[in-house]
Amino acid sequence: MNLDNLTICLRSIVDSMDFEQDEQLSSDILSICEYLESPYFRVAVFGPFNHGKSTLLNALLGTRALPIDIIPTTGAVISIKHGVELSTSINLRDGNQVSERGTDLLRRFAILDGDRRMRDDVLSVEMFCPHPLLERALEILDLPGTNDREEQDALVRSQLLKADLVIQVLDARKLMTLGEREGLRDWLLDRGIETVIFVINFLNLLEQQEQQEVRNRARYIAESFRANLPPGISNMYRVDALPALRAKLKGDTAEAHNSGIFAFESAIQSILESWASQTFQDLRFPRVLSVISQVKQTLYLKIQAAQTELQIASDSHNETVRSRQQSERKIKQSFKAFQKHQEPHDVLIKRGQLEMLQNLLSNLEPWLVGSKYETVTVPIRNSKVQKEKISENSSTISKTTRNSSKNPFDVFRTSKSVDKSKDG
């Protein structure tokens, strides 16, 4: 399987699935896709504000390019890549780009304002630097501090997912507490991030005796993190960032060496070499497994929910179909019954004519009672059977008529007497 197919698959999951309940996962998937697609080896420098992250990177690159200050400064993620000269590009959300030589633009666009907020018109910030380390397709990310605002923390976390190496900067004067350490370790391990290097800064500000104590504690912290680094590469470095920067700017190699910056630099170089001998697929795929397995779990749960919903919907549809079929059957049955009873127009007319004739006959018959014509067949040219049938049919009416009045004139007599009484 190729990684391009994986990103297509993951992006289509984000596009077609509803992640309302789990926006974090959808943003993690997108971060992972960006990570898989990036042609750069990515190193993210991570830690709370004022731990010397920007100073450490300036020392590494031997330039004062990145803004450093005692107040929280870096508000945006600053992506540092190779360039023929030091320059900065700001990509704005409206699609425009502002580019300039040097890094003054960073002060205008990438640092926090008085309310410690980042400008919301900035989409991304890039700095280009002519350092040989960066020539090896390296992208370094100077991240905002993590202990200021929740939105900054979320931004930083998403960047860690996209990094091949995380450099966690520690302040020797206030090392992580046990809780912070375990929280961070679990968070990183849950996301399969095992390439973490610790850099302890500000050690030079401590007394000699205290320095050893803090170093031991820092080593203990580093050892508690599982490190998936090339063989022989330690996951713990001591760098005095500001002295290192000063020494580099002065060209004082001995001082730079004392600051610890060279040991750190050579570790980064060894890691880059080891990465260069691997394919992106080998390097990155193990890292994305954890997010993929979360996606799988979420898909599995959604499939279960969808199956239940489908079952309910199809049960209800089947019930509707069943009851409609039942109604249809009833309608058909009653229609059949109706058809049976419903005779064609000409049959009805003939039946009516027959009934009329039978009535006429039955009205006439009483007149012949007792006469020799009583049993005489009616003048219809029918067979005997037909005659019998006719007289059978007419018998009810005849009987009724006979019972009510033996003599058909009675009817007139009655009406006459009514008329008479009227007259009288």
Contacts with ligand GDP by CB under 6 A lie at 47, 49-55, 68-70, 73-74, 145, 201-202, 205, 240-242
152 binds Mg ion (CB under 5 A): no
The item of ligand GDP, Mg ion, none sharing an interface with residue 75, based on CB under 5 to 8 Å by kind, is none
Give the residue nearest to ligand GDP (CB): 52
Select the span of 46-54, 99-107, 119-127, 228-236 touching Mg ion (CB under 5 A).
46-54
- Rounded CA gap, 288 and 293, in Å? 9
Q: Do residues 54 and 67 touch, judged by C-beta distance below 8 A?
A: yes
Which of Mg ion, ligand GDP, none does residue 240 bind (CB under 5 to 8 Å by kind)? ligand GDP
Cβ proximity to ligand GDP, 184 vs 295, nearer residue: 184
Minimum CB separation from ligand GDP for residue 173, in Å?
Answer: 10
Sheet holding 122-129, edge to edge: 97-101, 87-92, 122-129, 78-82, 138-142, 41-46, 165-171, 196-201, 236-238
CB of 54 to ligand GDP, least distance (A): 4
- Give CA–CA dist 273/356, Å, rounded: 116
Distance of closest approach, residue 199 Cβ to ligand GDP, in angstroms: 10
The burial of 288, by beta-carbon neighbours within 10 Å (0-12 exposed, 13-18 middle, 19 or more buried), is given as buried
Packing angle between helix 241-250 and helix 53-61, nearest 10 degrees? 30
How many residues would you count in the chain?
Answer: 424
What are the structure tokens assigned to 51, written together? 């731990």
In order, the DSSP letters of 56-112 are: HHHHHHTS--S---SS--B-SPEEEEE-SS-EEEEEETTS-EEEEESSHHHHHHSB-
Q: How many CB atoms sit inside 10 A of residue 141's CB?
A: 23
Q: What is the 3-state secondary structure (H, E, C) of 387-418?
A: HHHHHHHHHHHHHHHHHHCCCCHHHHHHHHHH
**Contact between 103 and Mg ion (CB under 5 A)?**
no
Bridge-based pairing of strands 196-201 and 165-171 is parallel
Specify which residues 197 forms β-bridges with: 167
For Mg ion, which is the closer residue by CB, 57 or 271? Answer: 57
Name which of 71 and 380 has its Cβ closer to Mg ion. Answer: 71
Q: How far is the CB of 176 from Mg ion (least distance, A)?
A: 18
Of the pair 10, 245, the CB lying nearest ligand GDP is at 245
Minimum Å gap between C-beta 236 and ligand GDP is: 16
The interface region with Mg ion, picked from 11-19, 73-81, 185-193, 321-329 by CB under 5 A, is 73-81
Q: In the complex, what is the shortest distance from the CB of residue 44 to Mg ion, in angstroms, rounded to a whole number?
A: 12
Angle between helices 261-276 and 241-250 (to 10 degrees): 90
Interaction partner, residue 242 (ligand GDP, Mg ion, none; CB < 5-8 Å by kind): ligand GDP
* Nearest residue (CB) to ligand GDP, 55 versus 362: 55
Q: Which does 129 bind (CB under 5 to 8 A by kind): Mg ion, ligand GDP, none?
A: none
Q: Could you tell which of ligand GDP, Mg ion, none binds residue 42, using a CB distance below 5 to 8 A set by kind?
A: none
Of 68 and 129, which has the nearer Cβ to ligand GDP? 68
Minimum distance of Mg ion from residue 110's CB (angstroms): 9
Q: In this structure, are strands 97-101 and 87-92 parallel, antiparallel, or unpaired?
A: antiparallel
Q: Does 74 bind Mg ion (CB under 5 A)?
A: yes
CA 15 to CA 355: how far, in whole Å? 79
Interacting partner of 358 out of ligand GDP, Mg ion, none (Cβ under 5 to 8 A depending on kind)? none
Residue 44 CB neighbours (<10 A):
25
Q: Which two tokens stand for residue 209?
A: 């005796």
Using the contact rule CB under 5 A, the part of the chain among 70-78, 237-245, 264-272, 371-379 near Mg ion is 70-78
Contact residues toward Mg ion (CB under 5 A) are: 53-54, 74
